[in-house]
Amino acid sequence: MKPYLAAAVQMTSIPDLKHNLAQAEELIARAARQGAKLVGLPENFSFLGDEEAKITQAEAIAEASEKFLRLSAQKFQVTLLGGGFPVPVGNGKVYNTALLIDPQGRECARYEKMHLFDVNLPDGNTYRESSTVLAGTFTPPVYTSTDLGSLGLSVCYDVRFPELYRHLARLGADVLFVPAAFTAYTGKDHWQVLLQARAIENTAYVIAPAQVGRHNSQRQSHGHALVIDPWGGVLADAGDSPGLALAAIDPVRLEQVRRQMPSLQHRVLV
């Protein structure tokens, strides 16, 4: 692992595939111009809106999303995470799939979101992700790169399940990806503190691309894409508009924190 810059992209995706991919390309290009070698796009980067429309267009969204990720990684010479897009599995359902692509356009890792967001929020909004999404059955992968370190994948609501990240830490993860479309209501209280907790307890960097703003009449996301260091410090925050959170991933800092706070070596329950 070498020092490098990582970018967490922040987008306002809508129910328009072409528009979203153009927005994503612009932000990837901006990150690459600033020197980023690892770039993460948020959950639902290619389509965010009405669930019925998503299912109807799922095959086209999946094909266009994967093609876009492969071509963009090659074009901008970055390792690129597509933080979540629908991949049809039949019976009117999809996997919410995160895909990591290397600068040659090759698939490094694929993860199908395990924890589905089925909640009734106090603000009156109800979310039933399981109505259209099938939960993944395989634990998240860790992809190890000589240059980038070991990258662990997760998606959005997963962040509330610390056992998943401890599993990734046991597999050697140095960097934890948490691409999300966190609701505005829960995000204001929970988003940053949950990400900091996952970084601190696993002494790992966290890269959290995010959706922001209004996507349709019912859906609004919190924003604040973050990069967090292994001590829990916020290195970069994209705020409340589309853009980037850009920060250095430093193996010396990682080793220093793990030496000073060797909690991963002190685990009793495994």
Catalytic residues, by residue number, are: 43, 113, 156
The terminus-to-terminus CA distance of the chain in angstroms comes to 26
The continuous run of DSSP H or E covering 28 comes out as helix 17-33
Query: Tokens for 150?
Result: 């070991």
Query: Tokens for 261?
Result: 């706070």
Please, what's the b/e burial string for 63-101 (b: 16 or more CB within 10 A of its CB; e: otherwise)? ebbbebbbebbbebebbbbbbbbbbbeeeebbbbbbbbb
Contacts of 236-242 with CB under 8 Å at 24 or more apart are: 236/8, 238/8, 238/10, 238/210, 238/212, 239/10, 240/212, 240/213, 241/10, 241/212, 241/213, 242/10, 242/11, 242/12, 242/23, 242/27, 242/212, 242/213
Q: Cα angle at 256 between 251 and 261, to 5 degrees?
A: 125
